[in-house]
Structure 1
């Protein structure tokens, strides 16, 4: 009998909390103690304990953190061994998470060793409550139809592609060229207007979004937002009504004679993501907030291969739209708002063309359009793809990179 989905979720969160404290401890000890042997000598613990701590510190998920932690007795002794080597508040935090871990083990297993075996076995317990027989997709679909009815607005698909490049943006920043394409948007009478949100402040001379066509090319060092003519319903640019600097949104009137419409926006952000290879930031993040109910989300991040070699990629789904101050994003701080929804992430081969996107020629056309506008070569990029049916309304899906 394996662990239930709820148990995995609770253990994952506990592991992420432990890793947050572990990370703070590793940053608090001197440089010579930031190796397995050096840490063991510095605080006087056994080398095998130090090895397990470092394995937990480097783990990529909360469950792996708990898997690699030393035994309960070693964890208890560590509180004493760390005294005098790290700040007192970290000692208190370490004892809190150690005690929490020790109290959690009996809830799921007879010992740490048995818990490790259960964490190795991803098979979930059979749960007999009526509603949990629904799959995650079915539950998300229920929310989609409820939100669609409540808001009076919906769309078939949100297609997002973010291209991250070094040396093209302003000094010390990555250039982020992004496409957000929304298909078959339907707005009922009386519903709120269609609004496209963004995060970057406008240039002082902003009047309206650019009217982009296939012959346009980006100004790499200038923030811009534009509507791609060929990928949007005719009349969308003329339907632009106003913008709000306060909540960063472009507002559109209904398009005459169209009860459904497509809208594709292209952004150029030259100074929003710091260059992690020349900055001490340890994490870069791209995300899309689900402001309106949608049946499908495709989120692609195309990262320059030079950056990808120094990065580990991960995903998450979070409550609301948590704004993170650039340069201060920490993976250890992201677990508190994360939902128990773990979208699948795939590395796809751009050379495979539409085949990589399930033979969707329109999505391949959108990618080609974006690279042409940005004057970039797709051969220089690695592409990560997240696909979600019925993405959770009013949440944020994030693909982030930890830099080494």
Structure 2
């Protein structure tokens, strides 16, 4: 079963398919705290949430893509609980800390294996990651900042609708999250013009600075005067970053970690300190000269990307990220054709925990499926 086939099926057929999957069977065996979920295990709750979706008043106003996104968000939103559930020894209460983060990675893997297109996969994975946020808006010191921040990561309307289904898909009435809290999410989003669209920042630099500051000013309009443009490549080994550059940016100078490693004769499994040092110097040389260039490395985690983005931003550069991810079998095939292929075990491990970039990290983001 592939994505195009499965996503065209009815909700009941999708649920039947899910029950044969190992991650779903793990949910069926994972108990929940009865104070929050007296209906029972995670899969029972998941089925109840899925059943609530067609009951939403707004369901018929959604297009087929939006309905599909919500169905698979519901299907996978608590799939991380079997990986995180623990019982508190003092109280006997069941907790699943950070299950949404684990769920995001699991959802990404499930959808990738199905052949889901990159944009839809990331839309669902991020909804899984942030599915619990609307219920706790009142606990945020700055609710406006919360809804604005999420609006460039998910569609706040879909997040709100899912939260309604999630809170209705349980039998513990006394512990349900009040729907008034969810309606507050809608109201604050609408007031900030970001309920069904990303918040309208004045320009790309305003958005870029918003996500870099701990106490951002929504109304600040910075002047856009970039010293140069840095194109940061991101993707698994074998994804085709070099090929993309050769086709799209043929005249752009490139700082490549692979090239530096080759020049220094340092194997990827050895200490990379010298490699990073040389690459940073070359980047600084271009930045000081105000010369646009590409920085080519895997850049698979947000933390790694942030270190380099901080460097580029210090010199006033405009930063665009190009994330490349063809189908996984193509990545493996292209890796085998490399002069020095990366062990496939390593690629599988990287694919299990990678963090595709989001528009919140840069001035521009390009997704390419190769």
TM-score normalised by structure 1 residue count = 0.30
Structure that is richer in strand per residue:
1
The structure with the larger Rg is 1
RCO greater where, 1 or 2, for CA within 8 Å and sep 6 or more?
1
Structure that is richer in helix per residue:
2
